[in-house]
Amino acid sequence: MSQSLQAVRGMNDILPDEGDIWEHFEDIVRDWLRSYGYRPIRMPIVEPTSLFSRAIGEVTDIVEKEMYSFVDALNGEHLTLRPEGTASCVRAVIQHKLLAAGPQRLYYQGPMFRHERPQKGRYRQFHQIGVEALGFAGPDVDAEHILMCARLWDDLGLEDVRLELNTLGSADERAKHRAALIAYLEQHADRLDEDGRRRLYTNPLRVLDTKNPDLQEIVEAAPRLLDFVGDESLAHFEGVQAIVKDAGIPFRINHRLVRGLDYYNRTVFEWVTTRLGAQGTVCAGGRYDGLVEQLGGKSAPAAGFAMGIERLLALWQDSGGVAAPATPDVYVVHVGEQAQRLAFRAAESLRAHGFAVVTHCGGGSFKSQMKKADSSGALLAAVIGEDEAAAGEVGLKPLRGPGAQQRINLDGLPDAVAECLFTEDEDDGGV
């Protein structure tokens, strides 16, 4: 036998048991996004490579070493599997002139690709929910994003998620801080690691974001960006904090929070947990006022955030979040050719009335089919043998509770199923 094929390292299958959880989660997320007036947008998974180098920045982990880029063998185009969604979303907004109709509240979700070292909570194909608000300049929308996240954690019953906030100021303010930072880091150049030395001149702010424990002392004592931030940026930051405080959401100001992408300015935030080990950031975002213009659009302010679905789901399960597996209402068993034809008609008629129905496929005896009906989790079996088929009737049998099998005419089947399901709920003292 030839060796069986495996998925690409760091790229996971989501099998049905997990799939149920994902879909339950996605249902909650969709309701949550609608409740804030955000609308769906879907972008291609493949984009021109230059989109990401222009948007994210040449000297970032993502663009330097994490992108799945390739040359299209058919036409020589340089393409990349998207490592994040903001750049694509902004590209789409510019391309289709969405801002001409006014500010936009948008969201998307789907797979992202980064060539990182796979480990718990860090994959090469992972999934994000991204939320972007374009055309809004004030601190109100930044705060809205933070409040949104807090509400989702509440809806999911997540525990131990903390908010960290910072401001990156304006481009001018960052330039002044950058000069001071370079001067400081130059004094310590001999103690920097390879990444640090390489970034000293290209992207010194990112040196502050290092995870290398040997550099913590140096970065702790580095010039603080906040000391270079001017009145307008400070007022913006205070505006965000005021709304967040009003909402009763606790936060910590983390001066070293700089984010891994270059496009951010002013507000940046992360939601972190200690429950997931090293990969503790479940959501990250902030303001990116320069990006629309940088990608060729008419200048427009914007802010957004992205959540890592795998990390959120791990935390959700850790906090006791579960999804009931999707089970059918009715499982249809049938023996005989005439019975099979009636089975298909009965199942379609039930589905037309909104019931979830599995029709047995693959034949077999009543006994073996009833076993399948039982393990499907269905509440009812619709049983069709030769007798029933001849009479145009269906035997309806409760699988989870008391009650005898009753014979029902095909026309009366939807009402009879509704009655059984309704009574089941009442027996459970149900909702």
- The site for ligand ATP (CB under 6 A) is made up of 84, 114, 116, 121-123, 126, 128, 260, 279, 281-284, 306, 308, 310-311
Q: Which is nearer to ligand ATP, 24 or 206 (CB)?
A: 206
Residue of minimal CB distance from ligand ATP? 308
| Centroid of chain to Cα 160 | 19
Q: Which is nearer to ligand ATP, 139 or 308 (CB)?
A: 308
Minimum Å distance from CB 201 to ligand ATP?
22
The sign of the torsion formed by the CA atoms of 251, 253, 256, 260 equals positive
What distances in angstroms separate CA 150 from CA 147, 154, 256, 278, one per listed residue? Answer: 5, 6, 22, 22
DSSP state of 342: H
The residue with tokens 């907004």 is 93
Q: Which is nearer to ligand ATP, 207 or 330 (CB)?
A: 207
Minimum Å distance from CB 62 to ligand ATP?
7
163 close to 250: Cβ distance less than 8 angstroms: yes
279 close to 120: Cβ distance less than 8 angstroms: yes
Minimum Å distance from CB 338 to ligand ATP?
54
DSSP codes, 81-124: E-S-SHHHHHHHHHHTTGGGGS-EEEEEEEEEE-----BTTB-S
Please report how the helices 86-95 and 49-56 are oriented relative to each other, as an axis angle in degrees rounded to 10: 110
Minimum Å distance from CB 376 to ligand ATP?
34
Minimum Å distance from CB 171 to ligand ATP?
20
Query: Tokens at residue 167, please?
Result: 């401001």
Instruction: Tell me how many degrees the CA angle 306-284-248 measures, rounded to the nearest 5.
Output: 110
Query: Tokens at residue 291, please?
Result: 């990006």
In the chain the first and final C-alpha atoms are separated, in Å, by 53
| Centroid of chain to Cα 148 | 14
What's the rounded Cα separation, in Å, for the pair 188 and 183?
9
Q: Which is nearer to ligand ATP, 12 or 338 (CB)?
A: 12
Minimum Å distance from CB 226 to ligand ATP?
20
Entry field: residues in the chain = 431
Minimum Å distance from CB 252 to ligand ATP?
17
Q: Which is nearer to ligand ATP, 118 or 239 (CB)?
A: 118
Minimum Å distance from CB 18 to ligand ATP?
15
Q: Which is nearer to ligand ATP, 289 or 310 (CB)?
A: 310
DSSP codes, 133-165: EES--SHHHHHHHHHHHHHHHHHHT--S-EEEE
Q: Which is nearer to ligand ATP, 84 or 388 (CB)?
A: 84
Q: Which is nearer to ligand ATP, 177 or 206 (CB)?
A: 206
88 close to 295: Cβ distance less than 8 angstroms: no
Q: Which is nearer to ligand ATP, 306 or 379 (CB)?
A: 306
**Which of 133, 174, 155, 337 is CA-nearest to residue 262?**
174
Minimum Å distance from CB 65 to ligand ATP?
12
Neighbours of 300 (CB within 10 A): 20
Give bridge partners of residue 253 from the DSSP assignment. Answer: 165
Minimum Å distance from CB 309 to ligand ATP?
8
**Which of 395, 390, 397 is CA-nearest to residue 339?**
390
Minimum Å distance from CB 122 to ligand ATP?
4
Please report how the helices 231-246 and 139-156 are oriented relative to each other, as an axis angle in degrees rounded to 10: 30
Q: Which is nearer to ligand ATP, 263 or 355 (CB)?
A: 263
What's the rounded Cα separation, in Å, for the pair 407 and 395?
4
Q: Which is nearer to ligand ATP, 128 or 340 (CB)?
A: 128
